[in-house]
Structure formats: structure tokens, C-alpha cells
Amino acid sequence: MATHTTPRAPGALPFAGHAPRMLRDPLRFLSSLPAQGDLVDVRLGTMKVTVVCDRELTRQLLLADDTCDKGGPWYDRIRETIGNGLVTCPHNVHRRQRRLIQPSFHPSRLPGYARTMIARATALSDGWHDGQVIDVPPLMLTLSMRALLQNLFSSTLAPQTAEDAIDDLGTILYAIHRRTMLPPALNRLPTVGNRRYHAAGQRLRRNLQTVIAGQRGAGRDHGDLLSAMLSARDTADDGSESTLADAEISDQLITFFAAGSETMANILSWTLHLLSRHPEIERRLHAEVDSVLAGSPPACLDDLDRLPFLNRVMRETLRLYPPVWMVTREVTAETTLAAHVIPAGSAIMLSPYLLHRQSDVFPDPERFDPDRWDSAHTPQPPRHAFIPFGLGPRKCIGDQYGTALAALALATFSSRWQLSALSDAQVRAVAHTSLTPATLRLRATARPLPRR
């Protein structure tokens, strides 16, 4: 028989609930919840959120995007800045948006995007010197932003506008997660941080609107994401044709710029960190890169097909530090989950981070083991047990783009450099919109060119 009650996580404070614990150390807090049950209620201020700790229930909810929609206070606050793009839009407009944006990520465009990342990563690493200490997260974020800006706008973005966009996005990314966890009244206060956040969002949107209008007027395909969105056409069931308006394109560009740059930067940062702590795995990666690339950066996207161990390293990084570490949904119709009735309007939280650490699927789940993805020797986990970019209709449209470009950057760095940890101190994960290393400094050592 179904019941309306689900267990509540212990340790809630008056008025604040579990919000202080979620802000202070969300990964530890989430990791404590499966012991309470498959569904656990937490309170963020006055709002109740049901956390789903079971992979089958997670799969069920992610596939049912019509009754488990993107909505509620968390998405309302995200939309303040990035608008109603593909990541944040509700179910009733998502299918149209996805059909119109899909051509931007057509496989025929990926080789051009890949060449941009290879050139950017090569230029970055060519500027390093032997023994230099690298502050990894901000450097990888800047690399990702610059590569993504070029892929979004080709050469149509003025240099100063590009620098402004990088500054504005950095401000937004720094503030956005905390704003989603705080009461709306605090976000409306005229604090320095709030004023800076709003100013950055307004300037970014103004600049994008100017660029969109200019490129639409030019009527040329520059091979970039913006050109693909400007030319996209969709035919509805009634035969009518639909295009993306300028305001919709602006929302999509901000969404891709924010989500894509942070995702690529964090994949790269965590991979470099894990390799620096596992020298035997690093040696195997270097041996493969030397054999395939012979001391040069990759030449094209197809080089990734010849680097299977590097691809397994990336996949294992995505398991341990998934870009989408948690997502929220709003139940739009009464739903029964594991004999519990979830009323319409309820807020749901799902966590790939939790699923990726289930020991029945991933033995010794905290261990960094790329060989667990070697299908020749190890049975592979169920598809819905590994969801670093989500699952179902709302799975990230740019997952192949982000992972491929991050892998190309890793191959570029590894062909010339070894990046070593400075100490054995633990690197803490900061859970913002994606998982970011709090501090990660590595020493660059030039590698000898392999013998031909």
C-alpha cells in the first residue's frame, strides 16, 4: 500500500533546515542519505526536497520528463541569468528547442570544434616552462571559455567583447550556486556581490544580442554554433515551420557558454589531479600517447579513436566527478515511487554522484580504476548506472562535444608534459553547478620526446 510519508534526514536546524549542511559540504551530506532509505526528505529553509538514492527510481524519473519536469525555486533562480535555454526550459517547449539546436552538434561540425581546442591547448602548453607551478582550475576554465567562445562565434566576436564575456561568465559562475541555495530575499539585497552578479548578466546579454543581430544580418555560415542556430528550421506536426528568435538564441548561447566551459574545465582539472596521484596509470597514459602521437599534439578528432586508454581515463574521471553531480525536478502529477506517494508540486533531487559510488555496480567505488571500463575484461555496468550527463530526453546535448574536447586537451598536454602533485594534501571538491577542485596546483615537467 502506498504511503505519503518518507523518512526525513536527521540534523535539521530550526528555520534553516539542512541548508547549512548542503552549503558547507553537500557531497558528504548527500553520501549520508542512502542509509536512511531510497527516498529521503531534506529541508532547505522552508522548502522540502525529496532526495532519490536508488538508481532504478532515478532512471524512472529521468525518463518521465513530462511528469518530472524542470521547475521549482532552483530553476527559477537559474533562469534569472541564463534564461529559458535547453538546460532550464520546461517540458512543453523542450522538444522544439532540442530539434532546432541539434544541428549545432551534428557530427560533421565536431572536427572543426576539435581543431579549435587542439590549437588553444597547444598554445597554452607551449607557454609553460620546465618546473612551472600551474594553478589548474582557473587555467582550465580560461582555456575552455576561449575555445568555446571561438566555437560559438568563430572570428566574429571582437577581442574586447570576448574578454568582457569571459569576465562576466566568471562572475556568474562564482555566484550562481550559492544564490540557488539562499532565500530569494537575500538575493535581492543590494550587496556588492548581488550588484556585480546582475551587472555581469546584463552586460553579457547586451553583448550577445549585438553579435546575434550582426551575424543574422550578414547571412553567412561561419561554421560555428551561432551560425547553425541562426539557420535552424523545424517543421511541426501541423506543417508550420519554426525558427529560433534572437532572444531564444541568446538564452542558448549563455547556457552553452556557462555549462560547457565549466564542464570541460572541471573534467580536465579532475583528470589531471587523478593522474598526478596515480603514477602507474599516468605512465600507461604517457606510453599510449607517445606511441600514437610521437610527441606531437593530436592532429584531429579521429586521433581519439587510437587512444583507448586515454578514453577510459576520462570515463573513470566522469564516474568519480560527474559534471552533473545533482539535479532537481518538480513533480507535475502525483507519482508513486517505491510505495511512497509523491504529491504534484513536490521538489525532487537526483544525484549521479551517489549512483556512481554504489559498490554493487562499481566495486571499490572510491578507487580510480580506468580498467573497469575495459569491456574486453570487465562486465560493463547497466547504462543507467553511469549518468554523468543525465539520462533520457533531457540528457546533455553537448556531452560528446565536451568530453571529446577535454580528451583532446589532455592528449595535447600529455604529449609534452608531466603534471605532478606538489604534496599529498587532500584536494577538496567544491560542489557548485558542477564539481570543482577547491585548490589544485601541479608542477609541469617537460617530457623527453619519444624515440621514433
pLDDT exceeds cutoff 80 at 238: no
Q: In this predicted model, which residue has the larger pLDDT, 339 or 76?
A: 339
The C-alpha cell at 166 is 569571459
Give the pLDDT confidence score for residue 224 in this predicted structure: 87
Q: In this predicted model, which residue has the larger pLDDT, 245 or 378?
A: 245
The percentage of residues in the chain with a pLDDT greater than 90, rounded to a whole number, is 56
Give the pLDDT confidence score for residue 3 in this predicted structure: 58
Cβ pair 22, 44 in contact under 8 A: yes
Strand partners, 51: 40, 349
pLDDT exceeds cutoff 60 at 394: yes
Mean pLDDT (the chain) is: 90
The C-alpha cell at 440 is 589544485
- Model confidence at 308, pLDDT cuts 50, 70, 90, reads very high
pTM recorded for the entire structure: 0.92
Give the pLDDT confidence score for residue 366 in this predicted structure: 96
What's the gap between Cα 237 and its chain centre?
33
User: What's the burial of 201, exposed, middle or buried (CB within 10 Å: 0-12/13-18/19+)?
Assistant: buried
Give the pLDDT confidence score for residue 73 in this predicted structure: 65
Cβ pair 179, 77 in contact under 8 A: yes
pLDDT mean over 163-171: 88
Give the pLDDT confidence score for residue 181 in this predicted structure: 65
- Model confidence at 154, pLDDT cuts 50, 70, 90, reads confident
Asked which of 46-60, 77-91, 368-382, 401-415 is least confident by mean pLDDT, the reply is: 77-91
Give the pLDDT confidence score for residue 379 in this predicted structure: 85
Give the pLDDT confidence score for residue 187 in this predicted structure: 77
Q: Over the chain, what HEC string results?
A: CCECCCCECCCCECCCECHHHHHHCHHHHHHCCHHHCCEEEEEECCEEEEEECCHHHHHHHHHCCCCEECCCHHHHHHHHHHCCCCCCCCHHHHHHHHHHHHHHHCCCCHHHHHHHHHHHHHHHHHCCCCCCEEEHHHHHHHHHHHHHHHHHHCCCCCHHHHHHHHHHHHHHHHHHHHHHHCCHHHHCCCCHHHHHHHHHHHHHHHHHHHHHHHHHHHCCCCCCHHHHHHHCCEECCCCCEECCCHHHHHHHHHHHHHHHHHHHHHHHHHHHHHHHHCHHHHHHHHHHHHHHHCCCCCCCHHHHHHCHHHHHHHHHHHHHCCCCCCEEEEECCCEEECCEEECCCCEEEECHHHHCCCCCCCCCCCCCCHHHHCCCCCCCCCHHHCCECECHHHCCCCHHHHHHHHHHHHHHHHHHEEEEECCCCCCCEEECCCEEECCCEEEEEECCCCCC
- In 3D, which of 312, 320, 323, 307 has the Cα closest to residue 412? 307
Give the pLDDT confidence score for residue 405 in this predicted structure: 96
- In 3D, which of 116, 125, 148, 113 has the Cα closest to residue 410? 125
- Model confidence at 4, pLDDT cuts 50, 70, 90, reads low
Give the pLDDT confidence score for residue 331 in this predicted structure: 93
- Model confidence at 58, pLDDT cuts 50, 70, 90, reads very high
pLDDT mean over 225-250: 86
- In 3D, which of 140, 135, 127 has the Cα closest to residue 417? 127
pLDDT exceeds cutoff 60 at 2: no
pLDDT exceeds cutoff 80 at 5: no
pLDDT mean over 56-79: 85
Q: In this predicted model, which residue has the larger pLDDT, 71 or 265?
A: 265
Asked which of 111-125, 238-252, 257-271 is least confident by mean pLDDT, the reply is: 238-252
Asked which of 39-43, 185-189, 357-361, 402-406 is least confident by mean pLDDT, the reply is: 185-189
Rg (CA), the chain: 22
Q: Which residue has the cell 550578414?
A: 218
pLDDT exceeds cutoff 90 at 190: no
Q: Which amino acid is at 164?
A: D
Instruction: Give the whole-angstrom CA distance, residue 264 versus residue 261.
Output: 5
Give the pLDDT confidence score for residue 288 in this predicted structure: 98
The C-alpha cell at 67 is 511528469
- Model confidence at 23, pLDDT cuts 50, 70, 90, reads confident
- Model confidence at 387, pLDDT cuts 50, 70, 90, reads very high
